[in-house]
Structure 1
Amino acid sequence: MAKPRKGLAARRRAMGCSQERLAELLRVTPGTIGRWEQGKSTPEAWLQPRLAKVLAVSVQELIDLLNPHVDEHVTVRSIGSRSDQSEHDPHRAVQIGHSLDSVHSVIPHVRRALDAFDLPDDGPSRPLGEIAVDVARVNEHRLEARYGVLANVLPDLLAELARAAQIAKTGFEEQQVALLRALALRAADGIAFKFGYLDLSGRLIDLMRQSAAQANDPLLVAASEYVRTETFFANGDLDAAGRALIKAAGGPALVNLDDQHVAAAYGSLHMRAAVVAGRVGDSRAAKDHLREASEAAKRAPEGVYRGTAFGPQSIRIHELAVATELRDPIGIERAAKWHPSAQLPAERRSHYYIELGSAQHDLGHHEEAYVCIEMARNAAPQHTREHPQVKDTLASLLRHRPGNTRVVELAAWAGARAI
């Protein structure tokens, strides 16, 4: 349910602005201003610095007004004098820090669980239906960037899946266990790759591909090829990444695009291939892949398919990634006028703002870059704090904005230092 932004409306009135006058100054419609104040929509990232200037508040104070607390009692006089507790709550920062510390402490247990995949220890083994619920839950944790929670449950879940494989009595049960194992391994890779354990990530991806093949699920095989790109990103072999994605997208199982699940598998491979092409500077190939992905998205509504988010909004996010890789200012500006919806997984939303922040910084739009990283943190703090692109952007912002309190605080939170 939309929450009215009473503080935002109060600030507008204090500046002597009607909704019509503010709309005129910002070159938007009065209805847009009304939707902002009603909490039904949010100003685009590129517009927020301009809105802050008109309201005579800092961008951080504007962000606070756009994200009111449940017990909000914001007054006009308090703007500019209060501390930024909503975004820099020390208790919240400590909680996130503890969650991320738990990821590192669990990694050795994940390694041991993999070492004993064919030699599981004795322990409980629940019905596959119950295990499937937990596998779905860990993938939700991955998509919502709840890495600390995900890490804590992974070792026991992987061990239980190993036991389930040992006691499977039929070929169908073996395939079901393999399917669940592939999805659990993907969840584990969600933290291994992002936290820099690249050797473990490569091992998890290999095991995921093997499990997907054992599950006899062509769409899961396609999903594993999508994830495999991480290995090529890590070793810098982008040509191999492109070949692997194109080969997977051309497989015989991905022909019937009228099936939304097939379309999603096919589209996601082209979506990632577009980014690879952009990274090697092949704009023509990148556009071709995006076109194929967009056609597939017409048949696949936004959703999560075999663990991969795909649909029209995901295409928009990858269009930004391609524009960033190609250093295309027009594409970046077009992307900056759009916001992903709250229904999109938090990790994907935060990645969009991280990418946009880096692009805005490269274009010299330093205030917009800061706003984007704040929005990424609002969407998925654990993902944002660990992302190397965030650290790079903030490190550079520290150099361009020395002494800027907001930038310094955000950089300290993310562990970034001036370069």
Structure 2
Amino acid sequence: MPDDVDEHIGARIARFRKQRGLLQQGLAMRANISKSLISKVECGQKPASAALVAACARALNVTTSDLLGQPFIEELRRDRLDDLIQPIRVGMENWDVPHDQEIPPRPISLIRVDVQRLLVQRREADYMPMARDLPAVIDELVHAIHTTAGEEQRQGYECLANAFRCIFTLSWNFGYIDLATVALDRIALAAPRADEPGLAAMHAYLRAQTILSSGRYEVGMLVIDQALRDLGGAQMRRSEDLSALRGSLHLRAAVIAGRAKDADSADARLADARGIAQASGELPSYGLTWGLPNVGVHAVAIACELGQWDQAIEISKSVRIPRDWSRSRAGHHWMDLGRAYFWANRPEKALDCLVRARRIAPQQTRYHPTVRETVLAMKRRERVRSSALAQYAEWIGI
């Protein structure tokens, strides 16, 4: 059954804490968090920040997914999305052993068209068709790299790395963190054979995302800075790719700093990214959403990481999202802003933002922990039953 309305992140922290035989003070000492904050989070008076979730997960020896309640199995089954995960798992079991197939693969140029379509679906958060097509594309690419050589084979590895990137996004957003980790390892194996420095930088960008969830912020920053140094001497096939990758890495570093509550470092990294974006303009390199609007939405997200809800709302007023922008990025922005409006005691605006996120990127929104936690908190605090909120809660499965 879907989680009970009371089973928010704080309630899960309390449940695991009691299973471990810990008092709130004991968990606070292990997680290096104040007992007062633990108490308020467990009873839903304060939001469970990503940093707090990571710290409590380490202290309780569980995964962040355990505390987030992911994956939301019943909801995935309802949408029949769980049926699409197992074929991907099977497809990920082999990438380095040649297939015994009599039918030759298509030319890499034709397979590349399919991979580019998958990357567009990834940016648009159109996950169902992407999940359906990924296993067959990976099988064909694995067959291709073992039956080609030279530039054809190099491009095959590049396509394979990008297919694994799609799997990373899909797995991460649906809460299958183990599968996302496998996809990350596959990118690391395929990227060097693709002889494409940008893929190595992309691997670092994604790796830092997984490190964020474990709370090892210093490691994440080291990974980002090493990738930036490597890009400094890289020969890119397109010079504009360098700007998009460098800027995106600085944004990831800014998020890490925000998660670590280092506002000064976060501001410095945002300034670095903003300077790059002002010089480069909007760029679609490596499927990234790069440009000044992305710097703006990251500034909003970082203010939320710091618990600066009013500031996040104020920053958002100067953010102008282009009409043709990435749906996944735009949807995430409205989720963040919805959370900010709720904790700034403006629940009507919060729901408006969540409705916009649903309209822009429904599959991403339905399965995102931020949305779930915000809606749970809104339901606990509502004094007069709202049919709009009830309908939205039913849509996400609570």
> Fold-level match, TM-score > 0.5?
yes
Distance of 2:220 and 2:76 partners within structure 1: 35
1:380 to partner: Cα distance: 0.6
Query: The residue matched to 2:175 in structure 1 has which SS?
Result: coil
**Residue 341 of structure 1 aligns with which residue?**
322
Relative distance call for 1:410 and 1:217 in structure 2 (3 A) is same
The AA in structure 2 aligned to 1:240 is V
Query: The residue matched to 2:284 in structure 1 has which SS?
Result: strand
Distance of 1:164 and 1:380 partners within structure 2: 33
Structure 1 gaps of 5+ residues are: 1-96
The AA in structure 2 aligned to 1:396 is A
Which one of the candidate residues 137, 144, 160 is aligned to 2:140? 160
**Residue 111 of structure 1 aligns with which residue?**
89
Distance of 1:365 and 1:197 partners within structure 2: 33
Distance of 1:169 and 1:249 partners within structure 2: 31
**Residue 133 of structure 1 aligns with which residue?**
113
1:241 to partner: Cα distance: 1.1
Query: The residue matched to 1:302 in structure 2 has which SS?
Result: coil
Distance of 2:96 and 2:234 partners within structure 1: 35
Which one of the candidate residues 335, 353, 356 is aligned to 1:375? 356
**Residue 198 of structure 2 aligns with which residue?**
219
The AA in structure 1 aligned to 2:221 is G
Which one of the candidate residues 386, 401, 408 is aligned to 2:390? 408
The 5 A counterparts of 1:232-381 are 232-253=211-232, 259-337=239-317, 338-381=319-362
Query: The residue matched to 1:194 in structure 2 has which SS?
Result: helix
| Higher mean C-alpha deviation, range 157-166 or range 252-261 | 252-261
Relative distance call for 1:216 and 1:141 in structure 2 (3 A) is same
Question: Which structure has the greater CA radius of gyration?
Answer: 1
Relative distance call for 1:255 and 1:125 in structure 2 (3 A) is closer
In the alignment, does 2:379 pair up with 1:398? yes
The AA in structure 2 aligned to 1:376 is A
1:401 to partner: Cα distance: 1.6
1:334 to partner: Cα distance: 2.2
The AA in structure 2 aligned to 1:180 is C
1:327 to partner: Cα distance: 2.0
| Higher mean C-alpha deviation, range 221-230 or range 334-343 | 334-343
The answer on whether the counterparts of 2:77 and 2:83 sit within 8 Å (CA) in structure 1 is no
Q: In the TM superposition, what whole-angstrom CA distance separates every residue of 1:265-303 from its partner, at most 9, and x where no partner exists?
A: 100000111011001100111011111111111233223
The answer on whether the counterparts of 1:182 and 1:208 sit within 8 Å (CA) in structure 2 is yes
Q: In the TM superposition, what whole-angstrom CA distance separates every residue of 1:147-199 from its partner, at most 9, and x where no partner exists?
A: 111110000001001001110122x2222111111111101111111111111
In the alignment, does 2:156 pair up with 1:177? yes
| Count of residues in Structure 1 that have an aligned counterpart in Structure 2 | 319
Query: The residue matched to 2:79 in structure 1 has which SS?
Result: helix
Distance of 1:377 and 1:393 partners within structure 2: 14
The answer on whether the counterparts of 1:278 and 1:286 sit within 8 Å (CA) in structure 2 is yes
The AA in structure 2 aligned to 1:205 is L
The answer on whether the counterparts of 1:209 and 1:225 sit within 8 Å (CA) in structure 2 is no
Q: In the TM superposition, what whole-angstrom CA distance separates every residue of 1:82-135 from its partner, at most 9, and x where no partner exists?
A: xxxxxxxxxxxxxxx789734321211111112122233524510111000000
Query: The residue matched to 1:303 in structure 2 has which SS?
Result: coil
Which one of the candidate residues 208, 211, 226 is aligned to 1:229? 208
The AA in structure 1 aligned to 2:87 is H
- TM-score with structure 1 setting the length: 0.72
Relative distance call for 1:121 and 1:374 in structure 2 (3 A) is farther
Tell which has more relative contact order, 1 or 2 (C-alpha 8 A, sep 6+): 2
Query: The residue matched to 2:322 in structure 1 has which SS?
Result: coil
The answer on whether the counterparts of 2:309 and 2:341 sit within 8 Å (CA) in structure 1 is no
The AA in structure 2 aligned to 1:177 is G
1:252 to partner: Cα distance: 4.5
Structure 1 moving runs of 4+ over 4 Å: 97-100, 254-258
Query: The residue matched to 2:95 in structure 1 has which SS?
Result: coil
The answer on whether the counterparts of 1:357 and 1:369 sit within 8 Å (CA) in structure 2 is yes
The answer on whether the counterparts of 2:313 and 2:337 sit within 8 Å (CA) in structure 1 is no
- TM-score with structure 2 setting the length: 0.76
Relative distance call for 1:217 and 1:108 in structure 2 (3 A) is same
Relative distance call for 1:235 and 1:98 in structure 2 (3 A) is closer
Distance of 2:76 and 2:375 partners within structure 1: 22
The answer on whether the counterparts of 1:102 and 1:151 sit within 8 Å (CA) in structure 2 is no
**Residue 79 of structure 2 aligns with which residue?**
101
The answer on whether the counterparts of 1:254 and 1:262 sit within 8 Å (CA) in structure 2 is no
Distance of 2:235 and 2:280 partners within structure 1: 12
Relative distance call for 1:190 and 1:352 in structure 2 (3 A) is same
Relative distance call for 1:372 and 1:121 in structure 2 (3 A) is farther
1:225 to partner: Cα distance: 1.0
**Residue 45 of structure 2 aligns with which residue?**
none
